[in-house]
Amino acid sequence: MKPLILSLLLAIPALAAKPNILFILADDLGYGDLSCYGQTRFQTPAIDELAAGGIRFTGHYSGSTVCAPARASLMTGKDTGHTAIRGNGSFELPATETTVATLLRQAGYRTALIGKSCVTGNTQTPQTLARHGFDYFYGTTDHRDGHFRYPKFLYENTKRIDFPDNNLHTGSHYDLDLYTEKALAQLDAQSAEKPFFLLLSIPVPHASINLPEESIPGKPVKHPHYTRVADPQKSYAGLMGRIDKTVGALSDKLREKDLLDNTIVIFTSDNGPHAEGGYQPSMLKSAGELRGHKRDLYEGGIRVPFIVHWPASIRPGRTSPHPSAFWDFLPTVCELTGIPAPANIQGISYLPILTEKEGQAAHDHLYWELNEQGGRQALRAGDWKIVRYDLNKKPAGPIELYNLKEDPSETTDLAGKHPDVLGRLTAMLQKARVPCPLFPWPALD
């Protein structure tokens, strides 16, 4: 047999053995919004089943406390002290940034993003998705279009698809249903010969929490922006039920296609729960026992559920407190597939945790910043965490200090009792970022 033909035949099983990756990213779903994370007011059985069959992380963090920088961190392997996108606004992820989708496409994966774009900010630029590594795209590119359950239009790749019956608040095409149908169709089209990476970026339970009229009595009341509902608690719980059904349908489809065993299914959220559209996280304890919510750098704003299900390699029923973050996804994928990781990232692969191998590296620190709300910073090192608010007016402090092991709800500021720890973490804070041209910060740059 000729050497070239032999090498091609040998490559086929190796390619087929690469795991598929289904990454389900919810929007503004809190740490306490899943029954497997302690929610008691409603149940999420399909997501709980994923957790029971895989591993549930209890110390995982989003890349940020708002949408765009969180997603930029997930895509690039960089924290908000280094990624080019550090807040919401009208910009795209720069072409110079290497994304996980680009790397996976180079490794032979078919790549798709369905739902809310993770690389376009508040722009109408569907062509950007292909430039950043996605073979297929279906969804919205302006994040504000994802605020409503009945969008007036979506993009399929670069083609605009209009829904004349939709007026944002009501209509005949419900966005979560559209995205679920497209995701199922993508899975139906998969074969064992080529691995896939599907990022299902559902724009719920963010903001407008209205359900189709057949799901809950009464029409939603229009609001100047988000769609108001008569009973926010009931609507929110109902929407969580629909998210759970989407996850169940995807799991069933993978099982039907005989793809479940070697598909890594990840479920998480882009930041903590929102306080918008008539809903407050306290209504259903969406942040659990954690302090704060979206736009906070307390735990409730950045710690998120993180579930990984992979029957071929993950022993079921596990829980891990390993501190990790969105920027760890890219290097994990690189180690998993044998792709060289970019040199200028802050992420550390958590593959050893998943597969129970020795050699799991730990972060020296985890860092976040937000230039909204007067400027905010936070840094975690081990069990210790510092938080600084109102930075633009008070660049020298005060800085709060918490021990997350003893006080995960951040109720007791220990800055006065542990000046040595405060000084050590403050020194880390001062070195944890580089200036960003898109987000100049007078208080720090």
Res. 2: pLDDT tops 80? no
Sign of CA dihedral 229, 223, 89, 139: positive
Give the integer Cα–Cα distance in Å for 183 and 168.
22
Give the integer Cα–Cα distance in Å for 78 and 70.
10
- Decide: 200 and 179 in contact? Cβ < 8 Å: yes
pLDDT band for position 17 (cuts 50, 70, 90):
confident
Q: Which helix (H) or strand (E) holds 281?
A: none
- How much is the pTM? 0.95
Task: Kindly report whether the peptide bond that precedes residue 281 is cis, defined as omega within 30 degrees of 0.
Answer: no
Give the integer Cα–Cα distance in Å for 120 and 37.
31
Task: Kindly report whether the peptide bond that precedes residue 205 is cis, defined as omega within 30 degrees of 0.
Answer: yes
Residue 161 tokens, joined: 């698809």
| Count of CA atoms in the C-beta half-sphere (13 A) of 302 | 32
Give the integer Cα–Cα distance in Å for 270 and 73.
10
What integer is the mean pLDDT of 236-261? 97
Burial class (CB in 10 A: 0-12, 13-18, 19+), 229: buried
Burial class (CB in 10 A: 0-12, 13-18, 19+), 440: exposed
* 51: number of Cβ within 10 Å: 25
CATH numbers and ranges of domains, the chain: 18-355 (3.40.720.10), 366-431 (3.30.1120.10)
**396 CB contacts (<8 Å, ≥6 apart)?**
none
Res. 303: pLDDT tops 70? yes
Contacts 24+ apart (CB under 8 A), 399-405: 399/426, 399/429, 401/425, 404/299, 404/380
Res. 9: pLDDT tops 70? no
Res. 218: pLDDT tops 90? no
pLDDT band for position 99 (cuts 50, 70, 90):
very high
| Count of CA atoms in the C-beta half-sphere (13 A) of 330 | 27
3 state SS of 422: helix
Give the integer Cα–Cα distance in Å for 115 and 179.
6
pLDDT tens per residue across span 354-413: 999 999 999 999 999 998 999 999 999 999 999 999 999 988 889 999 999 999 999 999
Res. 13: pLDDT tops 60? no
Residue 93 tokens, joined: 């992820």
What is residue 11's predicted lDDT score, i.e. its pLDDT? 36
